[in-house]
Amino acid sequence: MSIRIGKRVFAPGLAGTLATALLLPCLLALGFWQLGRAEEKRSLVAAYEEGADRLVEVATAGALEQLPRYQRVRLRGRYEPARQVLLDNMPSRHGRPGYQVLTPFRLQQGGEVLINRGWVPLGATRESLPDIDVGGGARVVTGRLAALPEPGLRLGDPPLLEAPRWPVVLNYPTAQQLTDLYGEPVGEALILLDPQASEGYERAWEARFGFGPERHVGYAVQWFALAAALLAIYVGVNLRRSSAANERIRHGT
């Protein structure tokens, strides 16, 4: 197939056309996917900022499922200090190795939720666990509604010990693992203890989404630029002077 365009002829080959037809939609799809991810990140940032506008009183653990992510909540109940979890491989914002401390909180009107009380540094050895004791008396806590952290790639769930040594050190536990550990349902909800609240550790909470929307936009621009370059190469390689034009050039007319 050929198309005359002025003094030139566009005559693409079959192999080049097939390759372009396959690659171009993929590059465009990746670009639009990155734009979609950027919009998702903007929504998370907006949700985090909006969550601080009002404080919601929560009576039961089940009520947390009805609230949006990053909503600020107030809970009444008691910590259960004898059954705490240390989240492993959780560096501080400055990159120091350590744990995040998850403490079960029994609500007055029913159910249990995990409170993330913040980051503590790694001990001198893996066997030397930090002292994370907290009182078990009645109290009121406030924090942000979040979810259990997820790894970039989960390669199966490690088995839990039948008779765990508390506090238990876990690496990205699932809700099902925690349910098995505690012997009662533990949902995906996690409360990020307010930075100004007492009985917590280092806390510099922010909307958790890896990197910001700007980087996704940058990646989208790169994919679209590759798509444009592919199209330009395809057209440039297959756009040739017509034979009549070549004859005039040869005869100097």
66: in domain: no
Q: Are residues 84 and 126 in the same domain?
A: yes
Tokens read off for 60: 């039961």
- Return the pLDDT at 227: 93
State the Cα–Cα distance between residues 224 and 34, nearest whole angstrom.
10
Q: Are residues 159 and 240 in the same domain?
A: no
Under the banding of pLDDT at 50, 70 and 90, the label for residue 209 is: low
pLDDT tens digits, residue range 219-230? 999 999 999 999
Segment (H or E) for 217: helix 213-238
- Return the pLDDT at 190: 93
Segment (H or E) for 74: strand 72-79
102: in domain: yes
Q: Which domain holds residue 154?
A: 71-193
Tell the residue number behind the tokens 């839990």, with chain if given. Answer: 160
Task: Work out the average pLDDT over 1-25.
Answer: 78
Q: Are residues 108 and 16 in the same domain?
A: no
Nearest to 207 by CA among 31, 32, 33, 52: 52
pLDDT tens digits, residue range 36-81? 988 877 877 776 666 566 789 999 988 998 888 889 999 999 999 9
Tell whether the torsion through CA atoms of 111, 193, 78 and 104 is positive or negative. positive
Q: Are residues 174 and 87 in the same domain?
A: yes
